[in-house]
């Protein structure tokens, strides 16, 4: 039970403090808490933050970001912008590697729009 509480706390900390979601929104999408922090939540969250900070305006919800399959995520958020930023797949794969190594709090990868 302690591991579950620890995972929930870490997931909430990332979603609220890093991503800026309201706790009430997370409570409404409870399925997100069950997703892997290292394999899904952190890489996708950091990737989308980079998209936004580099001028790509996208709309998303917790569900559309974290509950969709890897194939649908890549199609919507990576391949959908490849014409403007060809290196997006490489960037996303770097986010996955960073999250798997537990370094997600400090590493940012920057790129430029065409």
Q: What is the pTM of this model?
A: 0.81
Binned average pLDDT, 10 residues per bin, the chain of 114 residues: 81 95 93 92 92 86 93 91 84 84 50 48
Percent of the chain whose pLDDT exceeds 90: 50
| Rg of the chain on CA atoms, in Å | 14
Question: Are 52 and 58 a contacting pair, CB within 8 Å?
Answer: yes
Query: Which of 95, 10, 8 lies closest to 46, judged by CA?
Result: 95
């Amino acid at each position: 039970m302690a591991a579950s509480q620890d995972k929930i706390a870490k997931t909430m900390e990332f979603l609220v403090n890093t991503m800026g979601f309201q706790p009430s929104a997370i409570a409404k999408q409870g399925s997100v808490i069950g997703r892997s922090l290292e394999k899904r939540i952190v890489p996708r969250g950091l990737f989308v933050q980079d998209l936004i900070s580099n001028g790509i305006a996208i709309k998303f919800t917790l569900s559309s970001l974290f509950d969709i399959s890897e194939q649908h995520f890549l199609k919507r958020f990576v391949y959908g912008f490849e014409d403007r930023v060809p290196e997006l797949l490489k960037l996303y794969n770097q986010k996955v590697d960073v999250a798997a190594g537990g370094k997600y709090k400090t590493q940012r990868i920057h790129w430029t729009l065409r």
